[in-house]
């Protein structure tokens, strides 16, 4: 091969590679431009860490600036400063969780950096662990330098939660405080960093404390071990409510006010005075509450008021995340709902969480209980007019945090005969406030293939026993539930038929709307007789008898054939 031909081949290969490189570069630029045009965050495309993560929901507000701050601060600069300040707090919180300084040099410098490094390393050196989150800040600007590189402000009412564990992981201290910090930040290399950060003072928050208010007489109030309305004792007699065709996660997206009215009329006809409903955290917008959902909740409360029914509103339904850094999300959720309804007369109480003790298996029980105590405090701050409770899944769990609620709530699905004993134990532990049974019931689901079902007669007898004891003990109650359902989401009871099946048949009303005998118990207020043996003879046992008969027949036939061949 000649040298000329060899050179041409080499140049040809190089030209192809060059064109390929240019094409690849153009393709990547085009993808990047398209990425930005789709509304994506440029920082994520360029792998730049943003000042504040988009899901950081810590509340920061600016108080009026000092009269003379040196120069007026531009809105863009103010946004930069508050973003950098919030991210500095977040980085400090994360460093505590990691047990080592982590990314602090990005947001701190000078004396402030030395102080936060020391706070983290000294705790880690002792083998202790601090879990910390900040919830809200109120900044007041004092100085903004003429060259725009120095800013000084005071952080008033910085709300901070801390949990401290020893070297064995045991919780040794918890604290929720409001503190004041004097802060100075410098603009360096295009980034605002905290240079001076001095805590001036701080106070512990009384989590169990109540705000002194005088609610309207028509609002339900706690007086000792009783609830009162208009100066008269109020015993809760109610029911947990979902519309028949749209229970659980289908309720609020398919809200139908006219249908609600019809159901509330039936509830009223049953002689009941209270309903309990559920507000799913995500469906209502999470940290950014959807005003349309609040409007639907308000409409339901208005209709309940027109039917002379009180409402227990259960919050944070299906919310199972209690991580400390996520507490600002739930704070913002409360702020989006409670103030708007703080003066609604139909609300009996805010139930902060349905069966939180069931979340102990997937979340740190310390976080769960501390979050409940914190949320109770914030709920009273946002709405001092209405009562607060927690819907525990068992009477044993209901002893937890009894001192932070206005009345104790528990659920009960065991034998009716044992209710008196467990109630007496709970009453001994909690003797200074009302106790309400906010869920009880017996399913009438029966299957030819699975044991454990119950008949409608058994359900009626169960209701009669529970209600008889409740009246004797002057204990409020709410049954589960008004309707039988055809649809039960998998997240409620799972997909297994022996779990989802019973959940469909707890209602007082059958799928066709007719009333079961248990509903008649509410109307007649007379005890039900014990179910006869016919009422106890369930489809499963019929199947079992048939299978046994077939088995015996097969064995008998096999034996007969065997004897004939002998």
Closest to 370 in 3D by CA, of 396, 352, 383: 352
The band of 300, judged by pLDDT with boundaries at 50, 70 and 90, is very high
pLDDT on residue 453: 77
What does the domain layout of the chain look like in residue ranges?
59-204, 221-531, 541-566
Whether the predicted pLDDT of 38 surpasses 80: no
Which pLDDT value is given to residue 260? Answer: 97
- 424: pLDDT strictly greater than 90: yes
Binned at pLDDT 50, 70 and 90, residue 219 comes out as very high
pLDDT of 563 > 50? The answer is yes
Q: Considering only CA atoms, give the Rg of the chain.
A: 32
- Phi, psi at residue 409, to the nearest 5°? -120, 140
Q: Residue 128 class from Cβ within 10 Å (0-12 exposed, 13-18 middle, 19+ buried)?
A: middle
What percentage of the chain reaches a pLDDT higher than 70? 79
Neighbours of 509 (CB within 10 A): 19
Does position 18 have pLDDT exceeding 90, yes or no? no
Residue range 553-563: average pLDDT? 67
Considering the entire predicted model, what is its pTM? Answer: 0.83
Q: What is the pLDDT of residue 4?
A: 61
State residue 27's pLDDT score: 55
Task: Judge whether residue 381 has pLDDT over 60.
Answer: yes
Tens of pLDDT, residue by residue over 313-345, are 999 999 999 999 999 999 999 999 999 999 999
Task: Spell out the residues 6+ positions from residue 275 whose beta carbon is closer than 8 angstroms to its own.
Answer: 238, 239, 240, 241, 264, 267, 304, 309, 310, 311, 312, 478
pLDDT in tens, 57-92: 999 999 999 999 989 999 999 999 999 999 999 999
- The residue ranking higher by pLDDT, 435 or 23, is 435
Give the H or E element holding residue 115.
helix 110-125
The tens digit of pLDDT for each residue in 93-112 reads: 999 999 999 999 999 999 99
**Rounded mean pLDDT of 511-530?**
78
More confident residue, 447 or 198: 198
The mean per-residue pLDDT over the stretch 161-167 comes to: 92
- pLDDT for 3 beyond 90: no
- The pLDDT of residue 31 is above 70: no
Q: Which range has the worst mean pLDDT, 8-22, 127-141, 318-332?
A: 8-22
User: Where does 59-204 sit in CATH, by number?
Assistant: 3.10.450.240
Q: Is pLDDT above 80 for 504?
A: yes
pLDDT of residue 36: 35
> What pLDDT score was predicted for residue 501?
72
Q: What is the mean pLDDT of the chain?
A: 86
Instruction: State which H helix or E strand residue 525 sits in.
Output: none
pLDDT at residue 50 is higher than 70: no
pLDDT, one tens digit per residue, over 445-490 is: 876 455 567 899 999 999 999 999 999 999 999 999 999 988 777 7
Whether the pLDDT of residue 218 is over 50: the answer is yes
387-392 vs 221-223, strand pairing mode: unpaired
Report the pLDDT value the prediction gives residue 486, as an integer from 0 to 100: 85
Range name among 31-35, 110-114, 336-340, 558-562 with the lowest pLDDT average: 31-35
Task: Please state which CATH number belongs to domain 221-531.
Answer: 3.20.20.80
Task: Give 243-273 pLDDT, tens digit per residue.
Answer: 999 999 999 999 999 999 999 999 999 999 9
For the segment 3-13, the average pLDDT, to the nearest whole number, is: 62
- Sequence-separated contacts (24+) of 453-457 with Cβ below 8 Å: 453/502, 453/538, 453/539, 453/540, 454/538, 455/531, 455/535, 455/536, 455/538, 456/516, 456/517, 456/518, 457/517, 457/528, 457/531, 457/532, 457/535
Gap between the Cα atoms of 352 and 379, Å rounded: 9
Question: What is the reported pLDDT for 119?
Answer: 94
Calpha distance 88→185 (Å, rounded): 11
Higher pLDDT, 52 or 330: 330
Higher pLDDT, 190 or 186: 186
pLDDT of residue 169: 87
Helix orientation angle between 419-429 and 456-473, rounded to the nearest 10 degrees: 30
What does the block give as tokens for 258? Answer: 């006219």
């Amino acid at each position: 091969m000649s040298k000329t031909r060899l050179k041409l081949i080499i140049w040809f290969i190089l030209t192809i590679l060059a064109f390929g490189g240019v094409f690849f570069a153009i393709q990547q630029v085009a993808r990047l431009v398209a990425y930005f045009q789709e509304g994506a965050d440029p920082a994520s495309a360029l792998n730049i860490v943003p000042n504040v993560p988009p899901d950081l929901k810590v509340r920061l507000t600016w108080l009026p600036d000092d009269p003379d701050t040196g120069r007026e601060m531009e809105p863009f600069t103010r946004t930069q400063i508050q973003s950098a300040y919030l991210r500095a707090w977040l980085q400090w919180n994360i460093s505590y969780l990691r047990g080592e300084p982590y990314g602090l040099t990005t947001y701190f410098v000078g004396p402030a950096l030395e102080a936060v490094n020391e706070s983290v390393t000294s705790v880690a050196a002792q083998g202790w662990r601090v879990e910390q989150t900040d919830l809200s800040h109120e900044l007041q600007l004092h100085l903004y330098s003429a060259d725009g590189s120095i800013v000084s402000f005071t952080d008033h009412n910085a709300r901070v939660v801390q949990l401290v564990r020893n070297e064995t992981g045991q919780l040794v201290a918890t604290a929720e405080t409001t503190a004041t910090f004097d802060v100075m930040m410098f603009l360096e290399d295009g980034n605002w960093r905290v240079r001076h950060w001095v805590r001036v003072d701080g106070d512990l928050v009384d989590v169990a404390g109540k705000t002194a208010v005088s609610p309207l007489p028509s609002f339900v109030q706690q007086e000792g071990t009783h609830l009162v309305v208009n100066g008269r004792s109020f015993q809760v007699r109610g029911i947990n409510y979902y519309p028949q065709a749209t229970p659980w996660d289908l309720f609020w997206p398919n809200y139908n006010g006219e249908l609600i009215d019809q159901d509330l009329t039936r509830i009223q006809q049953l002689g009941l005075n209270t309903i309990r409903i559920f507000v799913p955290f995500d469906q209502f917008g999470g940290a950014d509450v959807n005003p349309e959902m609040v409007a639907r909740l308000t409409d339901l409360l208005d209709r309940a008021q027109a039917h002379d029914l009180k409402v227990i509103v259960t919050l944070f339904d299906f919310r199972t995340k209690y991580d400390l850094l996520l507490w600002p999300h739930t704070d913002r959720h409360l702020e989006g709902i409670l103030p708007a309804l703080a003066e609604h007369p139909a609300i009996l109480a805010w139930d902060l969480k349905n069966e939180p003790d069931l979340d102990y298996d997937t979340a740190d029980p310390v976080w769960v209980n501390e979050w409940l105590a914190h949320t109770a405090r914030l709920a009273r701050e946002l709405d001092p007019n209405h009562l607060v409770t927690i819907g525990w899944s068992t009477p044993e769990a209901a002893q937890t945090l009894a001192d932070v609620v206005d009345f104790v709530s528990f659920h009960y699905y065991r034998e009716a005969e044992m209710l008196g004993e467990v109630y007496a134990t709970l009453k001994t532990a909690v003797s200074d406030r009302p106790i309400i049974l906010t869920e009880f019931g017996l399913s009438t689901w029966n299957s030819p293939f699975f044991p454990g079902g119950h008949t409608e007669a058994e359900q009626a007898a169960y209701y009669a026993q529970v209600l008889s004891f409740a009246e004797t003990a002057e204990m409020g109650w709410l049954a589960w539930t008004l309707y039988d359902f055809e649809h039960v989401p998998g997240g409620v009871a799972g997909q297994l038929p022996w779990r989802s099946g019973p959940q469909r048949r707890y209602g007082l009303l059958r799928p066709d709307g007719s009333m079961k005998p248990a509903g008649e118990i509410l109307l007649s207020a007379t005890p039900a007789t014990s179910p006869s043996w016919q009422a106890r003879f369930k489809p499963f046992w019929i199947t079992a008898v048939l299978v046994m008969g077939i088995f015996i027949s097969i064995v008998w036939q096999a034996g007969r054939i065997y004897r004939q061949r002998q």
